Amino acid sequence: REIIWQPPLLNWIKCNIDGASSGNLGNASCGGVFRDHNADFVYAFADPLGFASSYFAELCGAMRAIEIAYEKNWLNIWLETDSSLVVAAFKNPTKPVAWPLRNRWRNVLFMMNSMNCFVTHIYREGNKVADLIANHGLTLSSFISWNTAPLFIADCLFSNKLGMPNFRLCSS
């Protein structure tokens, strides 16, 4: 199956997010990359989370992306993740999330009320830039952000911008 990353519409910002965990409970981090309608890099972040599950890392990445967008007054946000559980959490926001995240989750939902925001799923093959950033977060001791694209994601960013496909093996 062909997987192609798609840029957002004009006046929208798309953020691909991912979580990483070395073991499902293990050292964890999250990361995200914001791009505009031309598929140009806008901003990225990586955040080490300590000992956590994969789902915790994925949800933290989504929440951090919304917090950053809100802080930067980016009101038209397309959040894309390879976690179907994160997509489900945003589709049913009244369903409780893990206790340690509950206040933050409620704050993020409040922020989203003043934004145009939707959350979609992409297969991991189309989420490589966010995956690289989240895995880089495993090597960090504190939050980091970039206003210009770090070199370690340059090739993947360029491939996405050109509309080059990635392939997912599926059984027939």
Q: Could you identify the residue written with the tokens 């990359």?
A: 33
pLDDT value at 151 more than 70: yes
Domain that holds residue 60: 12-167
pLDDT value at 117 more than 70: yes
- Domain CATH number, residue 158: 3.30.420.10
Which residues are 80's β-sheet partners? 16, 120
Give percent above pLDDT 90 in the chain.
Answer: 87
Q: Is residue 125 part of a domain?
A: yes
